[in-house]
């Protein structure tokens, strides 16, 4: 049977501008191309989990506009359960403006739209779905009260909780103590701990600070430098797979969604991280967020 994963999070339409370089303040720069691509951290992670082989229930909000209807259709086409996606009347679906340079690096501005309307009532409506899942995946592009409620429900039901704290905001110790797997990048861990992470020694100090506040396992994604994993029993670094980078958008979300499937399938921690790394590596070789997320068979075939 497919593992069952609940995802609570955001749905955006990504408006992607390819540019030779990032513009300076006040500059008008001629871009190379423009694309509309389905995105949002929650939606990306839900799609990644579905393509890795999970049965996914998604808890989210969209606007009653064209972006919303198109996003809902795309999720249904992936086989994702959408009965807990609420359409907010007279509200725009979330939008992300993405500038993508020639090196595959990006800068992003978010207009949350309907994502900001996800509330505790929406979470309560999905209570049974959350409690019957093997893993709950959350991010922070939706209101923290709703995220906290979902994490509370999952934790007390014995459901493994994965939090990807992006965009970063203040997290209290009560919430951190309910998180089994905290997955974040070097910028986010510096914002959360005040520690600049450049190497494994600093990564370990930062991870141990979070574990002293109650977090279970800390996973720090370091892009081309791989992943640092801090379990309470051991810590180790895993090198990145070397690929030709086209676009890093969605790579972190691909990692999170793929990792969730590995955990839900009962993989050892190191193997789940390796599956996630391989999927993320393949994702950066393609343009866009959801357009770049690979299927399980493609990952296994490429790295065979």
Q: Is 216 annotated as a binding residue?
A: no
Q: Is 253 a catalytic site residue?
A: yes
Catalytic residue (one of 231, 253, 271, 274): 253
Angle of helix 186-193 relative to helix 200-212, nearest 10 degrees, comes to 50
Q: Is 41 annotated as a binding residue?
A: yes
Q: Is 201 annotated as a binding residue?
A: no
Q: Is 177 annotated as a binding residue?
A: no
CA distance 168 to 147: 13
CA distance 72 to 38: 10
CA nearest 6: which of 94, 180, 137? 137
Q: Is 50 annotated as a binding residue?
A: no
CA distance 58 to 55: 10
Q: Is 68 annotated as a binding residue?
A: no
Q: Is 235 annotated as a binding residue?
A: no
How many helices and strands, by DSSP H and E, does the chain display? 11, 13
Q: Considering Cα of 150, then 152, then 158, then 163, what sign does the dihedral take? A: positive
State the DSSP string of 212-246: HTT-SEEEEE-GGG-EEEE-SS-EEEEPPPP---S
Q: Is 94 annotated as a binding residue?
A: no
Q: Is 13 annotated as a binding residue?
A: yes
Q: Is 253 annotated as a binding residue?
A: yes
Binding site for substrate, by residue number, is 12-14, 40-44, 141, 253
Residues annotated as catalytic are 253
Binding site for K(+), by residue number, is 247, 249, 283, 286, 288, 292
Binding site, by residue number, is 12-14, 40-44, 141, 185, 221-226, 247, 249, 252-253, 283, 286, 288, 292
């Amino acid at each position: 049977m497919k593992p069952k994963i609940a995802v609570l999070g955001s749905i955006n339409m990504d408006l992607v501008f390819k540019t030779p370089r990032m513009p300076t303040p006040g500059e008008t720069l001629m871009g190379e191309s423009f694309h509309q691509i389905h995105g949002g951290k929650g939606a990306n992670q839900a799609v990644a989990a579905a393509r890795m082989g999970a049965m996914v229930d998604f808890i989210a909000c969209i606007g009653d506009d064209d972006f919303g209807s198109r996003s809902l259709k795309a999720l249904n086409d992936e086989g994702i359960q959408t009965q807990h996606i609420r359409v907010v009347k007279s509200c725009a679906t979330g939008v992300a403006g993405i500038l993508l340079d020639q090196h595959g690096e990006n800068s992003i501005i978010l207009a949350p739209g309907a994502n900001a309307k996800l509330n505790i009532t929406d979470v309560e409506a999905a209570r049974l779905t959350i409690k019957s899942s093997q893993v709950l995946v959350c991010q922070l592009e939706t209101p923290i009260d709703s995220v906290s409620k979902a994490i509370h429900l999952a934790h007390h039901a014995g459901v493994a909780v994965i939090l990807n704290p992006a965009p970063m905001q203040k997290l209290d110790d009560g919430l951190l103590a309910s998180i089994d797997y905290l997955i974040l990048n070097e910028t986010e861990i510096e914002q959360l701990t005040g520690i600049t992470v450049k190497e494994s020694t600093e990564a370990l100090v930062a991870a141990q600070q979070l574990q002293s506040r109650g977090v279970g396992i800390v996973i720090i994604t370091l892009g081309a430098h791989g992943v640092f994993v801090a379990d309470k029993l051991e810590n180790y670094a895993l090198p990145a797979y070397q690929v030709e980078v086209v676009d890093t958008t969605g790579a972190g979300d691909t990692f999170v969604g793929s990792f969730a499937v590995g955990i839900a399938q009962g993989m050892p921690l190191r193997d789940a991280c390796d599956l996630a790394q391989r999927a993320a590596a393949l994702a950066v070789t393609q343009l866009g967020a959801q357009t770049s997320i690979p299927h399980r068979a493609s990952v296994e075939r490429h790295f065979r």
